[in-house]
Structure 1
Amino acid sequence: MNYPDFNPASPNTPLSDAELQQLDELLASLPSEAAMNIEGMDGYLTGLWLLPGVLERLGTAGWLPLVWGGDGDEAAPFPSQRQRKNTTVLVLRHLQSLACQWRDDAEHWEPIFSVAEQGEREWVDARDWCTGFLQATDLAAEAWEPLWDDPEIGPLLVPIALLGGEGQDDGEAADLDDPEVLDSLSRSVPDAVLALLARRGGR
């Protein structure tokens, strides 16, 4: 399957809220249990972009199909090639909008997390986002390994590992049943991204 390469010089046309919802609903409708939701996709694209050269080395065909759980025969898992093409365009547009915001206005970047409202309190859940992020790091494990061990970056990545299901022991993972712990860990995730941006030179 031939896919267009990601072009950092392409026009920046961020997805509207309606387009994000449309993409989320489309991914949820696909007959693939491995398809990401919009939160997982946002984390996945973030993880791919944060290390220079990863997108180019993998090539679009090496990373894009994982968004919908992989390609099958003909147009599968999509009902048509047109829908696959339209989805490809939406994902690449979202990646470009992320890259442009990190370059031009990183301080106002907000990841796509699940947020539940209870009275005046908002509870943040970044588990799907972090799962997607970790899928990206798996595609470039050797390049990410020094960052996990880095004395500055490594501790900031711990909440992402815990929320993405890679906690070091069952005791840490069980803490996610506590909404306070889940909310606190989730709110710390952007700190890791901003630190990685600074390391990348994207701010």
Structure 2
Amino acid sequence: MQYPHYNPASDNRPLSDDEVSDLDELLAALPTDAAMNAEAMDGYLAGLLLTPGRELSSLPGQTWLPLIWGGDGAVDPAPFVSGKQRKKVIMLVLRHLHSIATAWTQRPQGWEPIFSFADGEDEDTEYADAEDWAAGFLMAVDLAPEAWAPWFEHADTAGLLAPVAALGGEDGGLLEGSAAERDEASRRIPDAMLALWAIRQNGVRKA
């Protein structure tokens, strides 16, 4: 099946909270454990937009869209109950993708990633946990490892990617970390992504 390309000029209306919940429920209801949730999808789309040296609009949709519901570019299980449901998921995903790119470009300080939050032992304490978001981001990295390798090595970018690797990677170091440690790493991610976007737009500075 052919899927639409990402078109930066298309609809970039942010999803409402109800639409995000609807998308999350549609993905959760699919008959596969490989489907992303809304948090992982958000991180995955951020990673796709940030991939160095490549414009997402140049990639066919079938190379990256099916991973959101557990397929891949070669074999797409298309586990939707109907074509209408598949179309709805795709349109919601593309709108969310457009809205991330628009926010980063036009109103970066207003952008917020989709993270989980949990109450601490103290009623006034709330911990952020971006594990799923980071895991989704790293799935985008896995689609273009050679493009990402310099960013994980370069002094200007490696530190910005460190909280994502720590939370989302199997050997990242924070999978068994304390709530406070995971919270600290999670809260570093928004500013780190905006910094990476600025570097991507302007080029990585030489060390």
Larger CA deviation: 13-22 vs 191-200: 191-200
Deviation at 1:189, TM superposition (A): 1.4
**Residues 1:130 and 2:131 aligned together:** no
- Cα distance in 2, alignment partners of residues 129 and 154 from structure 1: 18
Contact 1:113 1:126 in 2 (8 A): yes
- Name the aligned partner's letter for residue 144 of structure 1: W
Contact 1:175 1:181 in 2 (8 A): no
Contact 1:42 1:111 in 2 (8 A): yes
Deviations 1:111-170 (A, max 9, x none): 0000113411110000000000000011011110000001011022111111002435xx
Q: Which residue of structure 2 aligns with residue 62 of structure 1?
A: 63
Contact 2:138 2:169 in 1 (8 A): no
Q: Which residue of structure 2 aligns with residue 11 of structure 1?
A: 11
- Cα distance in 2, alignment partners of residues 175 and 196 from structure 1: 27
Q: Which residue of structure 1 aligns with residue 117 of structure 2?
A: 115
Where in structure 1 are there 5+ consecutive unaligned residues? none
Contact 1:54 1:140 in 2 (8 A): no
Q: Which residue of structure 2 aligns with residue 104 of structure 1?
A: 106
Q: Which runs of 4+ in 1 moved over 3 A?
A: none
Deviation at 1:197, TM superposition (A): 0.9
Deviation at 1:18, TM superposition (A): 0.5
C-alpha distance 150-166 of structure 1, shift in aligned 2 (>3 A) = farther
How well do the aligned residues superpose, as a CA RMSD in angstroms?
1.5
Q: Paired residue for 1:152, among 149, 153, 156?
A: 156
Q: Which residue of structure 2 aligns with residue 195 of structure 1?
A: 195
TM-score, normalization: structure 1? Answer: 0.91
TM-score, normalization: structure 2? Answer: 0.89
Where in structure 2 are there 5+ consecutive unaligned residues? 203-207
Describe the SS at the equivalent of 1:201.
Answer: helix
- Count of residues in correspondence between the two structures: 195
